Structure formats: structure tokens, C-alpha cells
Chains A and B, each alone.
Chain A
């Protein structure tokens, strides 16, 4: 369990973080969402120890996070970087060793990742000779090479092609399935919705919403949508406030079982459900609130 507790950070007069707390339990994938400048990167950099917080702390498995434990984390910073004049496989293995692997382990892991990322034939090439997309894949390999216990990834999907997005998504789920807490930020809300167990929304340095995907959706539940196969207009007959959305009826403030009984009597009910907001809608709602 990785807990980020009550972080405060100022840059000069700008308050970047104002009491940010979030947590990722073992095996949980947490999506970290927020507008540009909301504080996602600052939070993640503090969690990874490359930036000092003014106050607050990072707790891992119940104790303050130390350097040795952090070495077993996997991190992808928002601004990517690799040694341009170092060979691909050598570079991935080097990072494996830095994270405490033996040379043999690191090499084997690098080779396996390159295989998985379809880069085996580029293993001996300098990173600067790879296309940008392939460099992104190498960056991904660098953050995964040491089989990390925790993943903290800042915009891991940006700039990835669909295949790499799949590889990345699978890697995240695999790490979580193996018991690792995973935190990643993204602007691709469909990916967040698909991959995450819970979502944390940050705005202006404060957490403005958080919870499991279901919880967030439940909070934002909208109208009951009913679709009935009939020529009859049911607007006047259904209880509560009724509006039309195309052929559908949107019903609010009433007993849904009563609505179902009336609709079923009128014809075949083809759709009967509460409209669920997408994460994108929840996000827009949250940041504009």
C-alpha cells in the first residue's frame, strides 16, 4: 500500500499542492486525473523523491518510504529521457542494475522486454537511431525492467501507438495482478475508465474527487432512461419529471418500479437503466464545480 499524505508544496508565490492525499492499495490501479498544472506531476515527483515537499509524507506499507524501497519502484517521468548514445539493450539492463538487479538478471529482463515490445532486432542500436515511438517503448522498458513493486507513471500513454498502449495497459494490469499498487496519470479518460480500479481527480493542488469508478459514477447518477416499443406517447402517463431524448424518455424524481410497470403495460421495454456518466463527464463536472 502506497499512501501519499497531506502534501503541501509552494513554488515561490504559487501554491502547487495544498493538502494532497491519495493512496493505492496492493493490486489497485489508481488513475490520477487533472487539468494541466493541477499538480499531478508535482505529486508524483515528490512521491518518487526527486522533489522535496514543504510538508506531508509518503508512506509505504505503513512506514515512511525509504531510499532502498524506492529503488524497487518503477517510475516514468513526464519528460522522457534516455542516453542517446547508449545501445538499447545495454541501457535497459543498466537501469535494471541500478535498481538492484544482478547483471545477468538485468540482461535477461531487458531481452524479455525487448521481445515483448517487438524491439529485439534493435537491441544493439543506439537509442538516438530509433524512431520517437520506439524510444517511447524503450522508456517503458526502462520503467519495467526491474519488475517493480510499485509503479508511478506520469502520462505513460502519451505519444504511444495503439500497440504500445496495449502493451502498457497489459503491463499495468499485470503488475497490479501481481499485487503492486499502480498510480498513473493520463488525459486519456477512456483509458482511465478501462484500466483503473479507482480514480483521483485533482484541481488547483487539491483533491476534488476520488473513489472507485463505480462510486464516482453512482454519485453522479442522472436520469432513468426508458425506451419502449410503442406508438403511444407516454410523456403524460409516466410519473415524475419526464423529458424526451429522441425516442427515449428521461425520468427523474420518482419511483422507478412504477415507471417500469407503466412502460411494460404500454409495450415492449427495450431499455431501462439509469444513465451512467463517463469518467470524462465526471471529470468535467468535478473541475467546473
Chain B
């Protein structure tokens, strides 16, 4: 048997195991339905801010009579209005009545079908006041320059006592939230499936037949890769739909710079975090012989995933705090915390790099520990094994 052939058969074994996971789990009705539902939810979430932001179309306003020109200047300066000038108040009134314009302002009256939205009403009021003041001042004999000077007012400057580098954008917060939820879900689900799959093979003793033609690392690795591919397809579909919907509704340009790249890079963070949690789940799953016991060995993993998620949520409220910086660098929490933080704030490149390297190192450690645990305990049946006991055993 040449090295090349055995290399091929090694890879083939790995791929066969992965392929089985993908066929049996990935193409199951349950997974396909849940993927469609999740993608639709992400699509709706991505479109939500633009719905909440309301109708962005300009308000159609008709103007006529005295002060119409001055008012047009005011409304244009405010923005968001599509102004039509009419020759007479009667024409403007008719346009409002026919619905050609939302409202018409003529000779001190506002005409509208059913009254106006209070925001629009306020804007029209202040435009009317400003225009009237301008007209009055002109009538009083001031020059245009004097009027302009008198009307120039500095807007109030806002000073807050909180962390003002925090989110100034509700959409950034929202994106961070969605990323942390998706990361959490996309780690939690496959991690549990891996542990369940390992226990299933162990409790049904099928592992005994499998291991006559496969090495333990092929069996564990194939399972992790298979579930990884299923989850990756889900994740890529979510990110693509999310970004696609956001760009179609014009939201993407309103998001903080780097949001789109944060969303895309979260796939990379997910890959490393998944390698970490997935192999550990396989390793600890092999310690037990019955499905009922898998919960107890998975608890530490599920706890640290949940803590990562809660930390990321907390981080959204203070993205530049020391807590946020530490959480997004220390593995395994950084797997969820870093892409969340990147969505909401500027993160220095060195922190991203350090976090990535640390997470990758932790994943490599998890890979070694998980596969050792698996190799040593997968054929052992009986009561639950302790980790130390598994590591003491000869493989």
C-alpha cells in the first residue's frame, strides 16, 4: 500500500463521514424547513429598520398666495418636501382636495384631506412662522442681508454625560444584535448535533463497525466537517439575504462603515469558534454511553456559549469599555464578541489580529483535547467517564 493510496483513502473516509452527515442531517426536511424559516426571519429583520423609519418619500406640499416663495425657501432648506407653487389659493386648495398634494398652504390656511401628521404639521408651522417673520421684517424695511442675519440661529449643541463614543446609530446596535444572535444560534445548534451524533453512534454500538474501517479522527473530523458545512450554508445564506435585503432597501448606506465587512467577517469568526466548540462537543459526547447523559457533559460548553452571547449583548451597550475589549479578545468569548463589537464600533486592527490568533490557538488546543478524549473513550461503554480518566487511558 503506497503512501499516496492510503492518503487518498484517509481523505475519502473523512469525506464519506462528512457526506453522510450532510445527506442525513443537512438534507432532512427539518433542517431545510428551519433554514428557510431562519433566512426569511433574517430577511425581515434586515428590512425592519427601513419599515420603522417610515415612508421616506418626500411630502408633496402645494403653496400659493403671499409668502409662498419665502416658505418654499424654508421648506427646501428643511428637506423632505416636494413643493409645487400654484397661481391662486383656489388652485392650491383644489389640488389638496383632489389629493395631488398632501397639503396646501395658502393665505394663512393649511388644506388637507384629514389633517396632517404632527411632524409634518410642526415643520409647516415653523416654515410658516419663519416665512412670516421674513415677510414682516421685509415690510418693516430691513434689507435681505439684515433679515438673513437676524434669522441665523446656531442650533443647540448636544452634550451627553454617558459614553458618547457608544452607539449613535440604532442600526449599528441592531446589526450587532442580529450578528450575536445568529452566531449564538449557529454555534449552539451544530454543537448539540455533534454531541448527539457521537452519543447515537456510541449507544447504538455502530461505532464498533465504523471503527473497523475508519480511524477515530476520521469519524470525529467527518462529523464536525459535515455539520460545519450544513451550518456554513445556513450562515452564508443568512448573511447574503441580510445584506441583500439591506442593500435593496437602501439601508446598507445608512449603516456605520464596516458593518457589511463585519457581517462577512463574522463567517470567519464563526469557522474558528465552530472548530473549537465542535471538536470539544464530540470529545465530551464520547464520554457518555446514553443520550440522557449527554446533557450533563455538554453543560460547560453550553454555559460558555451562553456567557459569550450574554457578554456580546452587554458589550453592545458599551462597545469601547474595557470589558468589551477584553471580552472580544479572550477566547472562547471572542468568537461571538468580536464580530458583534466590529459591527458597532471601530476596532483597532491589532485587537482583531490578536483576538483571531488567540481564538485559533484555542481552537487548535480544543481540537487536540477533543480528539484525544474521543479516541480514548468512544469504544468504552458503561457509566459516564471522567475527563481525567479518559486522558489516563491508553488510546
Contacts and interface: CB of A to CB of B under 8 A. Distances in A.
Contacts of B24: 83, 85-86
Contacts of B23: 90
Which of A50, A82, A95 has the most chain B CB atoms inside 10 A of its CB? A50
B136 interface: no
A163 interface: no
A274 interface: no
Contact of A73 (B1, B205, B212): B212
Nearest to B25: A85
A83 B206 contact: yes
A71 B212 CA distance: 6
B213 interface: yes
Contacts of A236: none
8 contacts: A75-B209, A77-B209, A81-B205, A81-B208, A85-B24, A95-B213, A99-B213, A100-B9
Nearest to A45: B208
A4 to B, nearest CB: 15
A67 B205 contact: no
A124 interface: no
Contacts of B209: 75-77, 81, 95, 142-143
Which of B16, B204, B206, B394 has the most chain A CB atoms inside 10 A of its CB? B206
Given A81-B205, A81-B207, A49 B394 contact: no
Nearest to B378: A50
Interface of A: 45, 48-52, 66-68, 70-71, 73, 75-77, 79-86, 90, 94-95, 97-100, 142-143
Nearest to B1: A68
Interface of B: 1, 6, 9, 13, 16, 20, 23-24, 200-201, 204-215, 379, 394
Contact of B210 (A67, A73, A84, A98): A98
A71 B1 CA distance: 13
Contact of B215 (A67, A85, A94, A99): A67
A143 B394 CA distance: 28
A52 B395 CA distance: 9
B36 to A, nearest CB: 21
A66 B205 contact: no
B206 A48 contact: no
B19 to A, nearest CB: 9
Given A94-B16, A95-B209, A82 B204 contact: yes
A279 B79 CA distance: 102
B204 A84 contact: yes
B212 A75 contact: yes
Contacts of A82: 204, 206
A66 B209 CA distance: 16
Given A86-B20, A95-B213, A98-B214, 11 more contacts: A66-B1, A67-B215, A70-B213, A75-B208, A81-B207, A81-B208, A83-B24, A83-B204, A83-B206, A90-B23, A98-B16
A97 B23 CA distance: 15
Contacts of A45: 208
Given A97-B16, A99-B213, A77 B1 contact: no
B212 A70 contact: yes
Q: Which 4 A-B pairs have the closest CB atoms?
A: A81-B206, A81-B205, A81-B204, A79-B205
A142 B209 CA distance: 9
A98 B20 CA distance: 11
A143 B205 CA distance: 14
A105 B204 CA distance: 26
Contacts of B16: 94, 97-98
B289 to A, nearest CB: 11
Which of A66, A95, A142 has the most chain B CB atoms inside 10 A of its CB? A95
A79 B16 CA distance: 24
B6 to A, nearest CB: 7
A70 B205 CA distance: 19
B204 A49 contact: no
